[in-house]
Structure 1
Amino acid sequence: MLLEFIAILAAGFGLAGIALALNIALRKRLPQWIVPAAAGAGMLLMAIWLEYSWFERTTGTFPEGVEVVSSNQVRSWYRPWTYVVPLTNRLIAIDSRFNRRHADRPGQVLTRVILAGRWEPTRQFGAVYDCIGHRRADLLDQVELREDGSLGNATWVQLSADDAALRIACGR
């Protein structure tokens, strides 16, 4: 966040400097408001670019084996440009690098789910996907992983057969 603030200030100073140099080169024929207007435009444009590039910058750092299964797009009145191009502010990804299967339960896979949001800390948790029954159980504090591979105290969530997270976790 601090680095983005510094980048926004640098963009403002940079565009103001360009406007000032242009005004000097034109022997001060431009209106006096051009330098502060250029600073404001530079800061606003940098802030918009940082907001819209967040998704690509975040997913670009994911290693191979991490796939985005869902993203959230928003529109808001105080950002009128989001009505033209919605802003992506959250994502859900599956980290298949840590997939595990139990010999007694080959239709189930234990994987890692990643939740990331703009201006939010990234969260990770384990989840078991039942590839045959099309359901998911999140591994929370009360869930027990038994020796036979079954889950105790798990709450299963029914999923559709074409759910993106289910397809990626199960390797389809």
Structure 2
Amino acid sequence: MLMDLAATITAGAGLAGLVMAVRHFSKGRLPKWTIPAAIGAGMLTFSVWNEYSWYPRVAAALPPEVRVVSAPEDSSALRPWTFLFPVSSRFMALDRTAMLTSQDRPDIRRADAMVVQRWQPTQRLPFAFDCAGDRQAALAGGAALAPDGTLSGAVWRPVGQDDELQRAACQEG
């Protein structure tokens, strides 16, 4: 968040510098009020761009093995323009880079779901997936998935065919 603030101030200062240069070379024909107006316009423009481009920039930087499964768009009364143009400030992705597949039962897999939120550290949540049975289990609180595909300390939860997390985990390749 501190970097966002520094970048916002820099954008305002940069645009103000540009307006001051134009004022100088035009021998003062541009009114003085354009300098603080440029600061405000630069800061506002950068803030809006930064907020609306956060999700596409972060998602594009992920390796191809990490699949985004959910990116809800939010609206807030504190930011009334988001009712017209909702913004994504968080998303969930499945990290397939370290996916483990049971040797005895190849339809049983283990992978981490990542919850990525703006201005928050990324959370990694381990999950077990039963691709043949359309089930999944959160591996939290000491739950484990044995190499033979046996689940302990958790309960399988049925999910539908349209569950994006399950689909990303069970997709081949």
The answer to which of 84-93 and 135-144 deviates more is: 135-144
- TM-score, scaled relative to structure 2: 0.89
1:99-138 equivalence runs, <5 A: 99-138=99-138
The answer to which of 139-148 and 108-117 deviates more is: 139-148
Residues 130 and 44 from structure 1, CA distance in 2 versus in 1: closer, same or farther, beyond 3 angstroms? Answer: same
Segments of structure 1 that go 5 or more residues without pairing to the other structure are none
Identity across the alignment (%): 38
SS of corresponding position for 1:87 = coil
Conserved? CA contact 2:19–2:34, under 8 Å: yes
Runs of 4+ in 1 over 4 A off after TM superposition: none
Aligned to 1:74: 74
Aligned to 1:51: 51
Aligned to 2:94: 94
For 2:167, the aligned partner's letter is: R
Task: State the alpha-carbon separation in 1 of the partners of residues 111 and 147 from structure 2.
Answer: 18
1:3-22 equivalence runs, <5 A: 3-22=3-22
Give 1:70 shift.
0.5
The answer to which of 61-70 and 145-154 deviates more is: 145-154
Conserved? CA contact 2:55–2:89, under 8 Å: yes
SS of corresponding position for 1:73 = coil
Give 1:121 shift.
0.4
The answer to which of 92-101 and 141-150 deviates more is: 141-150
- TM-score, scaled relative to structure 1: 0.90
* RMSD between aligned residues: 1.8
Task: State the alpha-carbon separation in 2 of the partners of residues 63 and 144 from structure 1.
Answer: 27
Task: State the alpha-carbon separation in 2 of the partners of residues 144 and 114 from structure 1.
Answer: 18
- Deviations 1:5-55, CA, capped at 9 Å, x for gaps: 221111001111122222233332333321111101101111111111111
Give 1:147 shift.
5.7
Conserved? CA contact 2:107–2:130, under 8 Å: yes
User: Number of matched residues?
Assistant: 172
Conserved? CA contact 1:105–1:150, under 8 Å: no
